[in-house]
Amino acid sequence: MNLIPLVLYFCAFVGYSLHFARRTPVSARLATTMLAAATLAHTFIIGMQTMQVGQVPVFDATSAISMFVWLLAVAYLYTEVTTDERAMGVFILPLILALQAIPAFKRTAEVRSSVLQGPLFGVHVSSLLFAYASFALAFVIGITYVLLFKEIKTKHLGVFYARLPSLQVLDQMNQRAIVVGWVFLTIGLIAGGVFALEAHAPAMSIEDPKILVSLICWVVYSFELFAARRIGWAGRKAANLSAVGFAIVLLNFVLISYFTSSHKF
């Protein structure tokens, strides 16, 4: 079922590429409409799954990724509508496509552990997903920052110079996304810790790679947020740091979920 949004997201990607190349009002409308349609279809599917299981479907990695993609699409649509900047779409959609391919071609788990219940678990998973979506957005904004930075620095003003907002605006957007992400990451981690204590879950320790990597992630983003600018790591370095942070997020979210047995109950 997750195939339908994947196809629609692909159409939106074509729309945004077209808009990036042509920049006509028609292509702009087309791109946004396609993405809105994809997000709507995705909302519908997640809604149906929620009705089926009686809870937001986030208890296994595959459905959590689907949820994450949906959050990312909504967050991006929100920034697009509020800033009227569409140049970023062509960067964000490949990420959406790559991640949505996982739930589209992989079946979700049907059995769920009885441990994974209660409000704290919900807070834990949804905060983390929202944090990851924000970090993904920050990562994409960071990439565009670096691309524009290079064009201005090397004096080859071209494709990105004509299409992207200013460095200052990109830097602010990146920072804002990281602030939001960091707040939810912190909430998610605390909720997870408290939940683990309450549920007496087995094997909850720093040795669990997922927990370890999450903590590293928190340290990286905390550094970017509170220390980087004080030591002069602004602009390009901050953008690179958000790429590093997101690489860790992806490692944690996708690789560790599928290729190790950690954090499973």
Partner 1 sequence: MHLLLVGISHKTAPIDLRERVDFQARGIELALRTLAARNPGGGPGELAVLSTCNRAELYIACDDVVAAKSELVSFVSAFHDVDHAAIAPHIYDVTDLEAARHLFRVAAGLDSLVVGEPQILGQVKEAHSAARQAETAGPLLNRLFHACFAVGKRVRTETNLGSGAVSVSYAAVNLAKKIFGTLEGRSVVVLGAGEMGKLTAQHMKSQGVRQVTIVSRTIAHAARTAEAIGGATAARWEDMDAALSASDIVITATGAAAPILTKARVESVMRPRRGRPLFVIDIAVPRDVEPAAGEIDQVFLYNIDDLQASVRENLARRASEVSRAEAIVDEELGKFATWMRSRGVIPTVVALRQSFESIRRAEVDRLDFKLSALPSDVRDEARARVDEITHLLVEKLLLTPTEQLKSLADPETAAIYADAIARVFALEEAEAKSDSRVEPFRAKPRPSGRR
The site for partner 1 (CB under 8 A) is made up of 24-25, 148, 152-153, 155, 157, 161-162, 165-169, 229-237
Query: Which is closer to partner 1, CB of 154 or CB of 205?
Result: 154
Beta carbon of residue 175, minimum distance to partner 1 (angstroms, whole number) = 13
Closer Cβ to partner 1, 165 or 188, answer by number:
165
Q: Shortest Cβ distance from residue 28 to partner 1 (Å)?
A: 10
- The nearer residue to partner 1, 151 or 208, going by C-beta atoms, is 151
Using the minimum distance from each CB to partner 1, give the nearer residue, 106 or 236.
236
Distance of closest approach, residue 137 Cβ to partner 1, in angstroms:
19
| Contact (Cβ atoms closer than 8 angstroms) between residue 134 and residue 188 | no
Compare residues 113 and 166 and give the one whose CB is closer to partner 1.
166
For residues 196 and 190, the answer to whether their CB atoms sit within 8 Å is no
Compute the least distance from the CB of residue 93 to partner 1, in Å.
24
Q: Which CB atom, from 191 or from 220, has the smaller least distance to partner 1?
A: 220
Q: Cβ(217)–Cβ(241) under 8 Å?
A: no
The least CB distance from residue 233 to partner 1, in Å, is: 6
Rounded least distance, CB 216 to partner 1, Å: 24
